[in-house]
A and B are shown apart, each in its own frame.
Chain A
């Protein structure tokens, strides 16, 4: 797979191309350490990252540089994480966010 080496806005840190595992809505997935969470999801074929609070519409990648709120997901129990600019880490628990996001009891 070809990974982005240089991005006009974002810094990417996946020089060592180290494969790690994380979960998406309970499903085990693979990605590269340090790439944006959203990029790893995209590579795994995931296109819907959240469901909007009012109109219940699916949202996914949009601006992809941390500005637009389209890719908010719940990560390790924290809602509204900008997955397009948050680096992927081993064992991350990534969940589709429905509505405004539910704060989990355990992070």
Chain B
């Protein structure tokens, strides 16, 4: 135990922490990344592993364009050996009411206006063409982009972590942040159960657990953790089926590159970071999804797990500096954060290095909550 000195301490070994550490190291900043468990063990590795163009607010759409551009060559760019598994099976957002369809049309119009390629509105016949296995009963239309898809959340994190390490980042796994070092009212490092790290800046990428870290230094981060559960089936041969998200009940499912189906359903859940999975969720997900895609009925579920969403009042992230000087946060992604690792990791490094972010993320500022300047993201479940 002793005190070590770095330029920046990053908290959290999910995709945002790993990408931030990588981008900081690229700028020549000496960086340590502290992860309580293992890389990708929290929200990143437990996510539904999606990456998409289709969002409904300008900042997310612009960031998504960058994420999608990055992901296509990321494995080569980071010189990573394992497959990141970007799999463009498409994303199909399904409307069951006129108001839902109107919202999807608005989302697609905004995406097109901002230069996103490939997003369209489909009628029911066109839905059947891109997803022939669906029971389209009750569906009014959908939005679709064929390049949206899947990414392996683990190798995505490992790729950034390894690339960061190659640039000299110290990665401290199995290490818990126990507090923030404060000097003259500024964040000046982290206390951990394995020693202190003094730093000029601290970047908190701790997902739903950011709330606990913020509380240590008097920040009341408006993030509500929420348990989300997810199921995966045994593998079958690949079928023509995009990621399907139903706006009537928040159910979603997709086939992963290895042939397994990943399934989830929206419902009231406990507001904590527990990893406990429940039987009734399995029951609810099966009963809601099988009628929408009857061929799934014979496919066995083999695993179920949980991960915490980190919901903000407008379901938008909190990105940038905070009232505590030297303490930056990147959290509150409300269930769609994994895919923003490429863009927002770069932006966090730009913030810390005193640069102007390459995409304006001022909408994500911490102070918007007390200013009452919320902006709701419509494209999330």
Q: Do chains A and B interact in one complex?
A: yes
Flag if A103 contacts B239 (CB, 8 Å).
Answer: yes
Q: Does A87 lie at the interface of the complex (its beta carbon under 8 Å from any beta carbon of B)?
A: no
Flag if A101 contacts B237 (CB, 8 Å).
Answer: yes
B300 to A, closest residue via Cβ: A80
Using a CB–CB distance below 8 Å, which chain B residues touch chain A?
133, 234-237, 239, 259, 294-295, 297-300
Chain B residues near A101: list those with CB within 8 A: 236-237
**Interface residue tally for chain A (C-beta within 8 Å):** 14
B233 to A, closest residue via Cβ: A80
| B235 → A minimal CB distance (Å) | 5
Q: How far is the CA of A79 from the CA of B261 in the complex (A)?
A: 14
Q: How far is the CA of A100 from the CA of B297 in the complex (A)?
A: 16
Q: Does A29 lie at the interface of the complex (its beta carbon under 8 Å from any beta carbon of B)?
A: no
Chain B residues near A77: list those with CB within 8 A: 298
A72 to B, closest residue via Cβ: B234
Chain B contact residues: helix, strand, loop or mixed: loop
Flag if B298 contacts A78 (CB, 8 Å).
Answer: yes
Flag if A80 contacts B295 (CB, 8 Å).
Answer: no
Chain A contact residues: helix, strand, loop or mixed: loop
Chain A residues near B298: list those with CB within 8 A: 77-79, 81, 103, 107
Flag if B237 contacts A105 (CB, 8 Å).
Answer: no
Chain A residues near B295: list those with CB within 8 A: 103-105, 107
Q: Does A46 lie at the interface of the complex (its beta carbon under 8 Å from any beta carbon of B)?
A: no
Chain B residues near A81: list those with CB within 8 A: 298
Chain A residues near B299: list those with CB within 8 A: 78-80, 103
Q: How far is the CA of A1 from the CA of B62 in the complex (A)?
A: 72
Chain A residues near B297: list those with CB within 8 A: 78, 107
Q: How far is the CA of A78 from the CA of B299 in the complex (A)?
A: 7
Which one, A79, A105, A107, contacts B236 given CB within 8 A?
A: A79
Q: Does A63 lie at the interface of the complex (its beta carbon under 8 Å from any beta carbon of B)?
A: no
B295 to A, closest residue via Cβ: A103
B293 to A, closest residue via Cβ: A103
Q: How far is the CA of A101 from the CA of B234 in the complex (A)?
A: 10
Flag if B239 contacts A100 (CB, 8 Å).
Answer: no
| B239 → A minimal CB distance (Å) | 6
Q: How far is the CA of A101 from the CA of B237 in the complex (A)?
A: 6
Besides A80-B234, A103-B133, 4 more A-B contacts (Cβ < 8 Å) are A78-B298, A79-B299, A100-B235, A105-B295
